[in-house]
Amino acid sequence: MGKTDIGPPDYKTMLHPVIKKNYGQWKYHEILGPGVLMHVAESGDKIYSVRAGSGRLVSTDFIRGVCEIADKFSDGYLRFTSRHNLEFFVTDEKKVESLIAELESKGFPVGGTGNSITSIVHTQGWVHCHTPATDASGPVKAVMDDLYDYFTSMTLPAQLRIALACCLNMCGAVHCSDIAILGIHRLPPKVENERLRNVCEIPTTIASCPTGAIRANPKEKSVLVNDERCMYCGNCYTMCPAMPLAHPEGDGISIWVGGKVSNKRTPPRFSKLAIPFLPNNPPRWPEVVDAVRNIVEVYAKDARKFERVGDWIDRIGWEKFFKKTGIKFTMQHIDDFKLAPETYRTSTHFKF
Ligand code: SF4
Ligand code: SF4
């Protein structure tokens, strides 16, 4: 197919020749050590992938540096995993060690495979999006710096996936990660009447609210927000920039646990609320770092081999989860009984 600028290019043109040759014909794979996977094909071909951590938002210079490593060791091929790790490919086992040495000499951590904490998938943050309740790269860097040893080792009971989304739109994988860091707003939007009447369409602004909290304010040629009905989703701000809802104290972070995508042993599942609110405290977000480390450590000590966070909580029960982690159970942990009467917890009857 000819080259066009419509849509993504055909990924098959970018596969390493050994992967292309054996596509769909793999016999098995093994994790040889932190960051090193070996895939063996039916044909007897072997390919070693070496995984290293990377940031999600990277510069052109960084990518040039990574490409140089790929040219030198990996036949010019590399890939980014869905959690922003780098993977290089080697067909000769003897070259694995020198590739790891090169990566480590350039400051790349090698790991993120098997029962480790791999890089945190995250969203755009304060710099790049308009509705964030927290930053993305900032808290992720602080949390991952603290959990670095879990990236370069495979000592946890099972894989532990962490995700961050800076608002409830959740462009990150927060709904399905073992531990999720989620930015939340706690105050309704502020209506800037002067500006609104000049820059926003009133009918579309009213229609943008999923809970019907916005109504017309003909006197001001603007709108009014019913605070009681507002769930601080930020949808109106997307339609109308004269309704900002970011607030230095109102905004912060919630922590969710127990989600996963994998259907290994138990079906995929959604994350559930563990901590309703932690303040935004840049540049190192100490409250968030401590909260995540606490959950990781209690899980690491208490879970059985191959139990993901959600499976562990299922076995011990939510009551024990709150007890063991020392996390306070609050009214925010009770699900909305109006919107989801049949599916979610709607009472406070825990068996502590
Ligand atoms: S999660 Fe929300 S604030 Fe963050 S990038 Fe996505 S839409 Fe923007
Ligand atoms: S933040 Fe969401 S719920 Fe609140 S008024 Fe805007 S659209 Fe409605």
Per-residue pLDDT reduced to its tens digit, 322-340 = 999 999 999 888 766 555 5
Question: Does the pLDDT of residue 163 top 80, yes or no?
Answer: yes
Indicate the top mutation candidate among 167, 170, 280 to test ligand 1's pocket, ranked by most ligand atoms within 8 A of CB: 167
Residue 174 half-sphere exposure, CB side, CA atoms within 13 Å?
A: 25
Question: Does the pLDDT of residue 77 top 90, yes or no?
Answer: yes
Distance (Å, whole) CA 73 – CA 154: 25
Looking at residues 128-134, what average pLDDT do you find? 92
**pLDDT for res 59:** 94
Helix, strand, coil distribution of the chain in percent, nearest 5: 30, 20, 50
36-41/46-52 β-pairing: antiparallel
Beta-carbon contacts of 36 under 8 Å, excluding residues fewer than 6 positions away, are 48, 49, 50, 51, 96, 100, 110, 113
**pLDDT for res 56:** 87
Sign of CA dihedral 127, 130, 134, 136: negative
Tell me if 184 CB under 6 Å of ligand 2: no
CA distances from 266 to 254, 269, 284, 307 (A): 25, 9, 35, 10
Q: If you take atom 7 of ligand 1, which residue's CA is the nearest one?
A: 169
Tell me if 189 CB under 6 Å of ligand 2: yes
- Please check whether residue 184 is in contact with residue 251, taking contact to mean a CB–CB distance below 8 angstroms: yes
- Give distance in angstroms: CA of 164 to centre of ligand 1: 10
Ligand 1: list residues with CB < 6 Å.
123-124, 129, 131-132, 165-167, 169-171
Which of 103, 111, 173 has its CA nearest to residue 136? Answer: 173
Distance (Å, whole) CA 216 – CA 48: 62
Looking at residues 104-122, what average pLDDT do you find? 96
Question: Does the pLDDT of residue 297 top 90, yes or no?
Answer: yes
33: its two tokens: 């050590």
Distance of CA 197 to the CA centre of its chain: 37
Among the residue ranges 116-130, 151-165, 261-275, 325-339, the one predicted with the least confidence is 325-339
Angle at 83 between CA 47 and CA 267, to 5 degrees: 95
Looking at residues 309-316, what average pLDDT do you find? 96
Whole-model pTM: value is: 0.91
Beta-carbon contacts of 64 under 8 Å, excluding residues fewer than 6 positions away, are none
Distance (Å, whole) CA 165 – CA 171: 6
- Bin 149: left if φ > 0, else alpha if -120 < ψ < 50, else beta: alpha
- Give distance in angstroms: CA of 229 to centre of ligand 2: 8
Q: At what angle do helices 309-316 and 286-302 cross, to 10 degrees?
A: 70
- Give distance in angstroms: CA of 25 to centre of ligand 2: 50
Share of the chain above pLDDT 90, in %: 84
